C-alpha cells in the first residue's frame, strides 16, 4: 500500500478487492473456503494486463526457428498459434490452433528423433550441420549416444544420435513450419478463458491443470485480450503479502503447510556430469518445466528450465567445447553467453533455495524477485529435500469444488488430425 493508503500497483489493487470480499465472508468458513469465494467473485478481466511484448501471436506458417526466436526475444514460455488459413470472421476456437512453447518443440523434436533410427543421413548432412546453428546440439547428443554413456545409462534412448541429426539439419529445421508440429500442441492446448470467467478458474488451470499461461479472449473481437502467466500470478501474490487475507497463510512455515509436496526421492534431477539433452528428455518424459542439476549425489548447484533449450539453438558461444557439453558445462557456457551479451536471465542468479522453516511469504518474495517458477528446498548441509512450484502454492490457497469445471474441457479444442502425442 502507498503512504496515502491506496494500492501501490494494479496487483495490489486487485489484492485489496480480495481483502474487501474477505471481510464479508461468513465467519465459520475456513481460510481456503473464504478465498475460494473471493476469487470466484472476481472476473479475470480485472487481472492486470501483460505488457504488449508478452501478448504475442505466432503465425502457423512461421518456421520452427522463427518461433524459437520469437519466444526467446519476448522472454515468454509460450504463445498462441494463429491459423493463417482461418477466415477473417472465424471464431476464436477456429482462429487459434493451440499454444506453441519450448516444451512442445522438445516433444516434437524428440518424437522425430525416436522415429528415425538410421545414421546414414548424419554423414550426408555433416558438413551442412557444422555450418548451421547446431554444433552445440551435436555435442550434447553425441554425449548421449556414446558407448560409455549408454553402458552407464541402460535406459537411455538408442536413437539419441539421430536426435541431433534432425534438429541441426539446417533445411529441415528452418523449413519446418509451426503448423507441422500441431500434434505436439496437446502439451499445451489452447484453452482460453472469457473475460467473464472467474479468477478462481484461472488459478485452478495454472495449478491443478498444469497450464503455464492462460489466454483471456475478448468475444467481441474474437481475439486474445490478455495472457496471464505464472510469473504474473506470483507477482500479484507478492504485492498482496501485507494484506490480511494473505497474512493468514503467508506467515506459516512451509512445513506447517505440508510443503514441499514432492520430497527428495520424487524430485526429477540430473547429475552435473550427464549430457544436457538428458535433462530435456527427462522434462519431456516426466512433464516438468525444469529440474535441478546436482553435484555429489544430492546437492543442487543449478536449475535448467525447458526454455533453456533455446541456447542450444541460438547461442554460438556454447559451441566452444561442444564435445563435452554436460549439464554443468551447458550452464557454465550459457552464463558466459548471457554475461557477454548483457542479457538478463534467472540462470545468472545462481541456485535459489529455501528451507522448510521459511515462511510462504519468504518463498513468494524470492520467486517474484528472481522471476522464477520453482524453488528448491535444502537442508542445513545444502542437500536437496524437495521442490516448490507455483502450482504447489496455489494448492494451499484455493481448492477445486466438486464438479466445478463441468463440461468446460469438452470440445474446447478439437484434436488435430495429425496428433501424435
Question: How far from chain centre, in Å, is Cα 194?
Answer: 22
Binning pLDDT at 50, 70 and 90, where does residue 112 land?
A: low
DSSP 43: B
Rounded percentage of the chain residues whose pLDDT exceeds 70 = 75
Residues 221-272 have pLDDT tens digits of 778 899 999 999 999 999 998 899 999 899 999 999 999 998 788 999 999 9
The residue ranges of DSSP E strands in 111-260, in sequence order, are: 193-194, 213-218, 223-229
Q: What is the mean pLDDT of the chain?
A: 78
Q: So what's the pLDDT on residue 227?
A: 93
Q: Grid coordinates in use for 319?
A: 559451441
Binning pLDDT at 50, 70 and 90, where does residue 219 land?
A: confident
Please report the sign of the dihedral spanned by the C-alpha atoms of residue 112, residue 287, residue 306, residue 211: positive
Q: So what's the pLDDT on residue 170?
A: 53
Say whether pLDDT at 135 is over 50. no
Residues 269-286 have pLDDT tens digits of 999 999 887 898 898 788
Residues 21-51 have pLDDT tens digits of 999 999 899 999 999 999 999 999 999 998 8
Cα–Cα dist 276/293, whole Å: 10
Cα–Cα dist 112/135, whole Å: 19
Contacts 24+ apart (CB under 8 A), 120-123: 121/165, 121/169, 122/161, 122/162, 122/165
Ordered strands of the 96-101 beta sheet? 58-59, 78-82, 96-101
Q: What DSSP element (H or E) covers 162?
A: helix 160-168
Binning pLDDT at 50, 70 and 90, where does residue 115 land?
A: low
Contact call for residues 313 and 68 (beta carbons, < 8 A):
yes
pTM as predicted: 0.79
Q: Grid coordinates in use for 117?
A: 533410427
Residue in 272, 273, 307, 278 with CA at minimum distance from that of residue 141: 278
- For residue 87, the SS3 value is coil
Contacts 24+ apart (CB under 8 A), 353-357: 353/300, 353/377, 353/378, 353/382, 354/254, 354/378, 354/388, 355/254, 355/379, 355/380, 356/253, 356/254, 356/255, 356/259, 356/260, 356/385, 357/253, 357/254, 357/255
- Cα angle: 141, vertex 142, 143; to 5 degrees: 90
Cα–Cα dist 151/138, whole Å: 20
Beta bridge partner(s), residue 290: 305
Q: So what's the pLDDT on residue 118?
A: 42
Give residues with Cβ within 8 angstroms of 283, minimum separation 6. 103, 106, 268, 289, 290, 291, 306
Rounded percentage of the chain residues whose pLDDT exceeds 90 = 39
**Which parts of 3-146 fold into alpha helices (H)?**
10-23, 31-40, 64-73, 92-95, 102-115, 120-131, 135-145
Amino acid at each position: 500500500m502507498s503512504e496515502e493508503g491506496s494500492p501501490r500497483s494494479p496487483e495490489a489493487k486487485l489484492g485489496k478487492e480480495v481483502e474487501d470480499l474477505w471481510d464479508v465472508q461468513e465467519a465459520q468458513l475456513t481460510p481456503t473456503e473464504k478465498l475460494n469465494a473471493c476469487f470466484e467473485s472476481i472476473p479475470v478481466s480485472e487481472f492486470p494486463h501483460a505488457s504488449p511484448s508478452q501478448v504475442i501471436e505466432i503465425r502457423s506458417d512461421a518456421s520452427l526457428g522463427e518461433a524459437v526466436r520469437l519466444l526467446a526475444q519476448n522472454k515468454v514460455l509460450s504463445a498462441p498459434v494463429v491459423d493463417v488459413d482461418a477466415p477473417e470472421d472465424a471464431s476464436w476456437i477456429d482462429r487459434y490452433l493451440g499454444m506453441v512453447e519450448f516444451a512442445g518443440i522438445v516433444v516434437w523434436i524428440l518424437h522425430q528423433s525416436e522415429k528415425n533410427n538410421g545414421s546414414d543421413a548424419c554423414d550426408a548432412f555433416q558438413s551442412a550441420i557444422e555450418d548451421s546453428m547446431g554444433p552445440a546440439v551435436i555435442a550434447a547428443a553425441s554425449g548421449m549416444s556414446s558407448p560409455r554413456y549408454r553402458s552407464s545409462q541402460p535406459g537411455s534412448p538408442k536413437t539419441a544420435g539421430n536426435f541431433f541429426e534432425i534438429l541441426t539439419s539446417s533445411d529441415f529445421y528452418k523449413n519446418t513450419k509451426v503448423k507441422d508440429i500441431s500434434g505436439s500442441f496437446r502439451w499445451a492446448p489452447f484453452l482460453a478463458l472469457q473475460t467473464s470467467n472467474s479468477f478462481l478458474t484461472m488459478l485452478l488451470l495454472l495449478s491443478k491443470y498444469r497450464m503455464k499461461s492462460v489466454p483471456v479472449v475478448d468475444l467481441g473481437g474474437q481475439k486474445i485480450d490478455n495472457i496471464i502467466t505464472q510469473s504474473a500470478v506470483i507477482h500479484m501474490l507478492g504485492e498482496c503479502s501485507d494484506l490480511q487475507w494473505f497474512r493468514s497463510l503467508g506467515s506459516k512455515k512451509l512445513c506447517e503447510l505440508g510443503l514441499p509436496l514432492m520430497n527428495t526421492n520424487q524430485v526429477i534431477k540430473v547429475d552435473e556430469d550427464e549430457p544436457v539433452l538428458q535433462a530435456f528428455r527427462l522434462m519431456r518424459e516426466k512433464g516438468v518445466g525444469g529440474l535441478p542439476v546436482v553435484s555429489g549425489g544430492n546437492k543442487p548447484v543449478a536449475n535448467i528450465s525447458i526454455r533453456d533449450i533455446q541456447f542450444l539453438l541460438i547461442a554460438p558461444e556454447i559451441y566452444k567445447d561442444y564435445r563435452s557439453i554436460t549439464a554443468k558445462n551447458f550452464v557454465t557456457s550459457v552464463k558466459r553467453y548471457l554475461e557477454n551479451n548483457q542479457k538478463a536471465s534467472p540462470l545468472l542468479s545462481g541456485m535459489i533455495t529455501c528451507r522448510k522453516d521459511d515462511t510462504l511469504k519468504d518463498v513468494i518474495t524470492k520467486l517474484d524477485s528472481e522471476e522464477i517458477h520453482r524453488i528448491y528446498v535444502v537442508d542445513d548441509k545444502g542437500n536437496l529435500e524437495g521442490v516448490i512450484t507455483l502450482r504447489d502454492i496455489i494448492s494451499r490457497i484455493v481448492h477445486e469444488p466438486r464438479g466445478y469445471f463441468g463440461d468446460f474441457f469438452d470440445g474446447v479444442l478439437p484434436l488435430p488430425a495429425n496428433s501424435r502425442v
